[in-house]
Amino acid sequence: MTEENAAPPEETDQETVEEVDLGPMAYGVPVTESFGQTVLHPTPDQLIETATALQQDGFCMVIDVTVVDYLTHPGRTDLPSAVTPQRFEVVVALINHQQSTRIRLRVQAGNEQPTVPSLFDLFPGTEAMEREAWDLFGVTFTDHPDHSRILLPDDWEGHPLRKDHGMGDIPVQFSTTVGNR
Amino acid sequence: MTSDDLTLALGDPERVHRREQSAVLRVNESDAEALTGDPENPEDDHRMILNMGPQHPSTHGVLRLMLEMEGETVLRSKPVIGYLHTGMEKTAEGLTYLQGPTNVTRMDYAAPLFSELAFSLTVEKLLGIEVPPRATWIRMLMCELNRISSHLLFQATNGMDLGAVSMMIYGWREREEVLRFFEKVTGLRMNHNYIRPGGVAADLHDGWRQDVRELLDMLPARLEEYDTLLTNQPIFQERLQGVGVLNPAEALALSATGPILRSTGYSWDLRRHAPYMFYDQVDFDVVVGTWGDCFDRYAIRQNEIRESLRIIEQILDLMPEGDYRVQNKKVTPPPRARIDESMEALIHHFKIFTEGFHVPQGEAYVAVESPRGELGCYIVSDGSPKPYRMHIRGPSFVNLQTLPHLMEGGLIADGVAVISSVDPIMGEVDR
């Protein structure tokens, strides 16, 4: 951690400015294409700004909010060079009804304690989806009105869709159960 | 979609701004208790928190609602879900792409073929394969029949929830006829695992046209009976009209899709506005409502059955001859007879059923119009034979968010009508 931080950041910045091609941009963020669908790559800080711009452009509905945990993935090849891959990726799907187009946002949310701003104020329909993402992946959505578990019980420990969450941990004890007779 | 639709949806800012947080927000149980006031105070005395479900005959499974009531009026409500959660998205990560449909088909158990379809289309997109035309037409035929059976189930339960108990029997009776056809084609009444990556599991049986024709002949007359029994009946209309009203802006804001969005007069149907499969080659109408109330949602489903019958009628004429699955030995298992003759076939068979087929790295999202709205499937592949991540965007799950909105200010008895008209399938809500 300290060693990585100690590396001079000026050098990498200069490289970015001079050599690394940021690739195509849309709405101020890197854009790629995946199977005919546009994918934007905002940072968590840019998410609200991008979503607002998209909403003003006619993307009237957030269809889906989900998370992918890339812990054991061999390595993503479909990210633009300007984006640093991180363990958790929040995926937001938006739809434009008037032009019948879709845009997907892939937000690199962090490695240890993933946090992204909630889209609730822009799209209230994300309420349940963000709760589900928190419940199953432990991604924090700041300013969410009811940031609680939705599918699992309130006293559940851990976030089961994370790749490092153990499976089959709960012992089943049918054989030791004493019957009534 | 015309620009009028959008004006209708976004043109009334006052209604948009009436969307205050409390109506959308599901209140915490502890918060709700604090907000209901002091039981000793006579002024607060009439307000109470009522628990409804998860065991309740009209909650369609294990839906639980926390209701804040003043007398018989519902003020705020909060759906509490998760009672059927079995971690199916986690399960999917342990199943190969060929086994995947067996898992997703158990999500929306009233319309299982749509989950299989969304999954298969996503895998095919990642693989970059195109299924033969006959496979696509079979998928369309089966899905439209499934839409009918799902809406018939809605008519049955909706009738029963409102006291038209005989409707329960009629709806199930007709649904059973459709399921009988499914059983002939797929071997199972439900949870078919029929639509698979690469095509469908088996070709249609001999005489399928006759079976479909019989359904097409039977159903319109039965729908007329429903109209007599329910649609034109004053008591039924009184129970539903003006109950649980939603406007287009609210429906869009809450990400509602399917009949709920269309009931507000907003025309949006993926089959029409973002055609997949061969829906651009068939002629059908998108049924929309006017008032966005429970009656519109009922009537939309009733008429969508008729539109599906129209589509099936055309499919009967358009169904081509040909293969029912793609002849790609890496994806579809070889025919049984080939295994005895060909070493290659045996190897492919063995590979597909032990290791599974590899899907190139990438991520894709495909959506289909299920009877409840947009059913999407998002798959991330890491190049292995199992999905790295599989996510289903369940329309029931998202549509359930409209419940607090629809029930606010209504009577508790209307709440039952509202739950019924949202038509949530808890298997898909909880996944």
Domains of chain B: which residue ranges?
A: 88-430
CB–CB contact B382 A77 (8 Å):
no
CA B35 to chain centre: 35
CB–CB contact B362 A35 (8 Å):
yes
pLDDT at A168 (0 to 100): 63
How many residues are recorded in chain B? 431
Residue among A100, A126, A160 whose CB faces B274 most closely: A100
CA distance B139 to B116: 10
By the 8 A CB rule, do B38 and B44 touch? yes
Q: Which residues of chain B register pLDDT less than 70? A: 1-46
Residue among B85, B255, B389 whose CB faces A152 most closely: B85
Q: What is the pLDDT of residues A78-109, one digit of tens each?
A: 888 888 888 999 999 999 888 888 999 999 98
**A176 belongs to a structural domain:** no
DSSP track, B219-274: HHHHHHHHIIIIIT-HHHHHHHTTSS---HHHHHHTT--THHHHHTT----HHHHS
Of all residues in chain A, the one with the smallest CA distance to B428 is A151
pLDDT at B311 (0 to 100): 93
Pairing relationship of beta strands A140-142 and A115-117 according to DSSP bridges: parallel
CA distance B386 to B384: 5
Q: What is the pLDDT of residues A12-51, one digit of tens each?
A: 443 333 444 456 777 778 888 888 888 999 999 989 999 9
pLDDT at B116 (0 to 100): 93
Alpha-helical (H) ranges within chain A are 2-6, 9-18, 44-56, 126-137
How many residues are recorded in chain A? 181
CB–CB contact A124 B254 (8 Å):
yes
By the 8 A CB rule, do B392 and B431 touch? yes
> What confidence category does residue A8 fall into, taking pLDDT thresholds of 50, 70 and 90?
very low
Phi and psi, residue B204, nearest 5°: -65, 145
pLDDT at A177 (0 to 100): 63
By the 8 A CB rule, do B286 and B306 touch? no
Instruction: Reply yes or no on whether the pLDDT at A70 is more than 50.
Output: yes
Which chain B residues are closer than 8 Å to A61 by Cβ? 252, 255
pTM for the structure as a whole: 0.86
Q: What is the pLDDT of residues A120-135, one digit of tens each?
A: 888 888 888 999 999 9
pLDDT at B35 (0 to 100): 59
| Strands (E) located in chain A | 25-26, 29-34, 37-40, 59-69, 88-96, 101-110, 115-117, 140-142
Classify residue B280 by its DSSP letter: G
pLDDT at B7 (0 to 100): 40
Which chain A residues are closer than 8 Å to B403 by Cβ? none
pLDDT at B5 (0 to 100): 43
| Interface probe with B: pick from A41, A66, A87, A105, most Cβ of B within 10 Å | A66
pLDDT at A10 (0 to 100): 43
HSE, side-chain direction, 13 A CA sphere, residue A5 = 2
User: Is this complex's ipTM strictly greater than 0.85?
Assistant: no
Cα dihedral across residues B150, B269, B142, B302: positive or negative: positive
CB–CB contact B1 A63 (8 Å):
no
Provide CB contacts within 8 A for B39, sequence distance 6+. Answer: B45
Which chain A residues are closer than 8 Å to B431 by Cβ? 151
pLDDT at B41 (0 to 100): 66
Number of domains in chain A: 1
Q: Is residue B346 helix, strand or coil? A: helix
CB–CB contact B401 A128 (8 Å):
yes
Confirm or reject CATH 1.10.645.10 for domain B88-430, answering yes or no. yes
CA distance A67 to A108: 10
CA A21 to chain centre: 24
Domain limits at A30? 24-142
Residue among A68, A100, A127 whose CB faces B389 most closely: A68
pLDDT at B118 (0 to 100): 93
Q: What is the 3-state secondary structure (H, E, C) of B194-205?
A: CEECCEECCCCC
Q: What is the pLDDT of residues B311-351, one digit of tens each?
A: 999 999 999 998 888 888 788 888 888 888 888 888 888 88
Which chain B residues are closer than 8 Å to A68 by Cβ? 363, 380, 388-389
Overall average pLDDT of the A152-177 stretch = 74
pLDDT at A147 (0 to 100): 82
Q: Please report, for the domain that includes residue A31, its CATH number.
A: 3.30.460.80
pLDDT at B306 (0 to 100): 92
Phi and psi, residue A80, nearest 5°: -70, 160
CA distance A90 to A138: 11
